[in-house]
Amino acid sequence: MNIILIGPPGAGKGTQAGILVEERGMVQLSTGDMLREAKTSGTEMGNKVADVMARGELVTDEIVIGLIREKLEAGGTGFIFDGFPRTLPQADALEQLLADMGQKLDAVVELKVEDEILVERVVNRATEAQAAGKPVRADDNADAMKTRLLAYYKQTSPLIGYYYAKGLHDYVDGMADIADVKAEIAAALDD
Ligand code: AP5
Ligand code: MG
């Protein structure tokens, strides 16, 4: 089973993907994590996208599709696409890449969370990381969060209607406790 977790910044995509990896042995493909890794390891691409990410804008389709292509070409199944696709061209590319592997998407689960809560979550994450002397994500601040939300509503949320029309869309209440969100996702996947 291959699924997309879709939702605004801070909705809990990474948290829930981590649980699915633990409990179902699925494979998490987070383009955000891949881009941050590229930045940490000082690759040319990582340096190139660092400013764009810090502002909260989307990096180019070409770069993120390239990252996903590389992972899928290594083979496997049971993928959780976390934070990908974020644009229609990315959605088309994903469909083609999966088709080339003789696979398809089985579900697109949307995590719904109110905007004020999203801002609160990412600002809290930054404050807590700072207090513990851990690295703070460059885009976890109120300013970048505005841009991240704009990018989501302008470029990514149209995908929800697109996947609904394809009969793949389901949604869960992302404001519930992590365990309850997990249970709702399980119900959506197993129905
Ligand atoms: P990315 O890394 O994908 O970030 P994001 O989607 O903007 O947001 P987060 O990762 O912060 O949110 P999340 O939904 O994973 O929530 P999490 O589980 O962490 O992208 C970063 C940047 O990379 C983009 O802005 C763009 O520049 C670039 N990029 C990435 N992919 C791209 C693409 N495909 N195309 C173009 N550019 C791309 O949870 C958030 C917080 O809430 C945590 O502290 C968590 O503990 C807490 N939390 C989680 N669930 C709950 C709950 N149920 N109740 C209370 N708290 C909760
Ligand atoms: Mg994430």
Q: How many CB atoms lie within 10 A of CB 109?
A: 24
* Proportion of the chain above pLDDT 90, given as a percent: 99
* 31, 117, 118: residue to mutate for ligand 1 pocket, most atoms within 8 A of CB: 31
Distances (CA, A) of 110 to 19, 66, 132, 141: 16, 24, 31, 23
| Distance from C-alpha of 127 to C-alpha of 114, rounded to nearest angstrom | 20
C-beta of 182 in contact with ligand 1 (< 6 A): no
pLDDT > 90? residue 9: yes
Task: Name the phi and psi angles at 97, rounded to 5.
Answer: -60, -40
Q: Dump pLDDT digits (tens) for 36-63.
A: 999 999 999 999 999 999 999 999 999 9
Q: Tokens standing for 85?
A: 């696709």
Q: What is the pTM for the complete model shown? A: 0.98
**Å from CA of 51 to ligand 1 middle:** 17
Q: Tokens standing for 23?
A: 């409990």
Q: Dump pLDDT digits (tens) for 101-139.
A: 999 999 999 999 999 999 999 999 999 999 999 999 999
Closest alpha carbon to 72 in 34, 46, 41: 34
C-beta of 28 in contact with ligand 1 (< 6 A): no
CA 142 to chain centroid: 19
pLDDT, mean of residues 138-144:
97
| Distance from C-alpha of 160 to C-alpha of 182, rounded to nearest angstrom | 20
User: How high is the mean pLDDT of the chain?
Assistant: 97
∠ CA 159-161-165, nearest 5°, is 115
Q: Which residue owns the Cα nearest ligand 1 atom 46?
A: 15
**Å from CA of 13 to ligand 1 middle:** 6
